[in-house]
Chain A
Amino acid sequence: MGERKSISLPVLGQVSRRTAMKGVGATLGAGAFAAAISPLRRIDEKVTAEEFMQRHYKELSDSDKRDVFTRLEAQAQDEYGADVSISDPRPIPGTLFVYAINLSLCNGNGKCVEACHRENNHDRATNQSYIRVLEMPIGTMDMEQGNTTYDHPVPAEGKFYMPVQCQQCQEPPCVDVCPVEATWQEDDGIVVVDYNWCIGCRYCEAACPYHARRFNWKKPEIPADEVNPDQGFLSNRIRPEGVVEKCHFCLHRTRNGRLPACLEACPTGARVFGNILDPDSDVRWIMENKRVYVLKEELGTAPSFFYFFDS
């Protein structure tokens, strides 16, 4: 504390180092303690005892899940006035999901972004979505050169358009960094989040090289008649404030055999989805017959998300 350069620290005057450190310790200690317990004070207002005591997803028995889903359905009714149904479809054995996008067809119109927004009960005020469409200069695959703010008729001359969402990496760095194991990869390749276990530290958001994770800065606002009632516990149920979320390949749809919402919404037919383990699947044919690439291959994340161009 000898040189008092920093004006942001409390100025203690001419005191011995020992006294000074005591004072600092006491002040910081009290402050830190207050800060540390402040979420607990908020929990009283926002979180029920059942929710606070809810265990990790993987420790929930079937009857625990039923209780949790019933509670969450009641909560959606209470807070959003929406009659929703929460389910928990499990991975289909023998299925590994792969997504492929034909960038020769994608024209950047953004219908997928909107479809994701509606399907997944995103906050209306922020137009939140799991998908960003990057307008890229032709000649590079460098994401940093893309921009999402374009607002002109598409496709523009000299540009191509690259939708980016969770790549469902087979080596997901976001999973590695989670300090509480609130996010993990399931057998069909989908990386999921237990929104009730997430502590909101946002390490995963920082670890993701694709900017695919989103943080709920506030409680999502959704009008009752716009809430999608078909909800998965690990997918599109309305997320609490302060947790991280991400694209889950619409698992509440795809694990029931349906196509993802963003694919159905695409007016250009650029999106292809399927089971890579099925030798007759569309995605398998693309993998075998198109020159596919993945984003940031050099990072070794091994995405399940592929891009290709018509040659």
Chain B
Amino acid sequence: MTVRLAFAPSAFNAESGSATIGRGSNIARVSDASPAEFFPVVINRPEGPPRLRLDAPDALGRPVTVACSTCHTIREPNIENRSTIDLDEFHQGLSVLHGELACLACHNPGDYDTLRLADGRAIEFSNVMTLCAQCHGPQWTDYQRGAHGGMSGHWDLTRGGRVRNNCIDCHDPHAPAFPMMQPTFKPRDRFLAPAHSREGGGHG
């Protein structure tokens, strides 16, 4: 569940605890003296706090989702809890494989509809990348310069915009290692046949 927001440096500012993103491609500087107008780089973002789907449907058979705060506003946070193994009501199936992090390393015990930075400030789920960047500095640096993270659209921002992935588009925050994949497409060319057993001309 992501929403695409037009990105401008002001939309991603110090108020939300974030650095400004890199400058982007600027061909007009090279070939054109007139001030360049850039199309936006749009970064996918979660549109807000996640909603948890309950196992049981409602009376009409519809799936029920609840906000984090639905439960967490009426119970005390247990700062002793380090993993889902100790839980007996909710989140039991959630496997957390993110270093040694405990739940409250990222989740905000003061307001479960937000996240919490290492310095104690709350941060919206939509700005989750700032939270990730606290620990993953090299990746964040690379991301800002287009050397990390998938994208689509235009390399030349004077001709069109660009859409970029958010950290959590590719990395499950609870188990962030990029998953193994099965290659699904292989050229059937001469390199795939053992030598001397090729029929006719290979497709070179």
Give residues in A with beta carbon < 8 Å to B: 92-95, 100, 102, 105, 107-111, 113-114, 117, 123, 125-129, 132-133, 148-155, 202, 205, 214-215, 217, 254, 256-259, 263-264, 266-269, 272-275, 277-282, 285-286, 289-290, 310
Chain B, Cβ-Cβ closest to A115: B185
Given contacts A275-B156, A282-B147, contact A132 B181 (CB under 8 A): no
CA distance A232 to B112 in the complex (A): 53
CA distance A273 to B165 in the complex (A): 16
Minimum CB–CB distance from B159 to chain A (whole Å) comes to 3
Give residues in B with beta carbon < 8 Å to A: 22-27, 29-31, 138, 142, 145-156, 158-160, 162, 165, 170, 178, 180-189, 191-192, 201-204
Minimum CB–CB distance from B76 to chain A (whole Å) comes to 41
CA distance A117 to B187 in the complex (A): 9
CA distance A265 to B105 in the complex (A): 34
- With beta carbons under 8 angstroms apart, the residue of B26, B159, B201 that contacts A217 is B201
Contact: A286 with B155, CB < 8 Å? no
Contact: B204 with A278, CB < 8 Å? no
Extra contacts besides A92-B156, A154-B183 (13): CB < 8 Å: A110-B185, A117-B187, A128-B189, A149-B192, A217-B202, A217-B203, A259-B152, A267-B181, A268-B150, A281-B27, A282-B147, A285-B145, A310-B138
Contact: B24 with A280, CB < 8 Å? yes
Chain B, Cβ-Cβ closest to A308: B147
CA distance A275 to B182 in the complex (A): 33
Chain A, Cβ-Cβ closest to B149: A269
Q: A110 — which chain B residues lie within 8 A by C-beta?
A: 183-186
Contact: A268 with B147, CB < 8 Å? no
Contact: A277 with B30, CB < 8 Å? yes
Minimum CB–CB distance from B189 to chain A (whole Å) comes to 6
Contact: A275 with B181, CB < 8 Å? no
Contact: A127 with B188, CB < 8 Å? yes
Among B30, B148, B158, B191, chain A packs the most CB atoms within 10 A around the CB of: B30
Q: B25 — which chain A residues lie within 8 A by C-beta?
A: 274-275, 278, 280-282
Contact: A278 with B187, CB < 8 Å? no
Contact: B145 with A107, CB < 8 Å? no
- With beta carbons under 8 angstroms apart, the residue of A108, A126, A259, A272 that contacts B203 is A126
Q: A102 — which chain B residues lie within 8 A by C-beta?
A: 147-148
Q: B158 — which chain A residues lie within 8 A by C-beta?
A: 257
Contact: B147 with A272, CB < 8 Å? yes
Minimum CB–CB distance from B147 to chain A (whole Å) comes to 5
Which applies to chain B's interface (DSSP): helix, strand, loop or mixed?
Answer: loop
What are the 3 tightest A-B residue pairs by CB atom distance, in nearest-first order?
A257-B159, A282-B146, A94-B31
Q: A154 — which chain B residues lie within 8 A by C-beta?
A: 180-183
Contact: A129 with B187, CB < 8 Å? yes
CA distance A100 to B185 in the complex (A): 22
Contact: B186 with A258, CB < 8 Å? no
Chain A, Cβ-Cβ closest to B193: A149
Given contacts A113-B187, A127-B185, contact A275 B147 (CB under 8 A): no
Q: B145 — which chain A residues lie within 8 A by C-beta?
A: 282, 285-286, 289
Q: B22 — which chain A residues lie within 8 A by C-beta?
A: 282, 285
Q: B204 — which chain A residues lie within 8 A by C-beta?
A: 202, 205, 214-215, 217
Contact: B181 with A153, CB < 8 Å? yes
Given contacts A214-B204, A256-B159, A281-B25, contact A151 B186 (CB under 8 A): yes
Q: A117 — which chain B residues lie within 8 A by C-beta?
A: 185, 187
CA distance A94 to B162 in the complex (A): 21
CA distance A114 to B187 in the complex (A): 9
Contact: A259 with B155, CB < 8 Å? yes
CA distance A278 to B31 in the complex (A): 9
Contact: B181 with A214, CB < 8 Å? no
Contact: B147 with A149, CB < 8 Å? no
Contact: A109 with B151, CB < 8 Å? no
Contact: B26 with A123, CB < 8 Å? no
Contact: A105 with B148, CB < 8 Å? yes
CA distance A8 to B130 in the complex (A): 75
Minimum CB–CB distance from B4 to chain A (whole Å) comes to 16
23 contacts across the A-B interface (CB closer than 8 A): A92-B27, A95-B27, A127-B185, A127-B186, A129-B187, A151-B186, A153-B180, A202-B204, A258-B153, A258-B159, A259-B155, A259-B162, A264-B151, A264-B152, A267-B181, A268-B178, A269-B148, A274-B155, A275-B27, A278-B26, A279-B29, A281-B26, A282-B145
Minimum CB–CB distance from B156 to chain A (whole Å) comes to 4
Given contacts A215-B204, A280-B25, contact A272 B185 (CB under 8 A): no
CA distance A277 to B156 in the complex (A): 12
Given contacts A148-B192, A153-B181, A285-B146, contact A258 B27 (CB under 8 A): no
CA distance A281 to B147 in the complex (A): 11
Q: A268 — which chain B residues lie within 8 A by C-beta?
A: 150, 170, 178
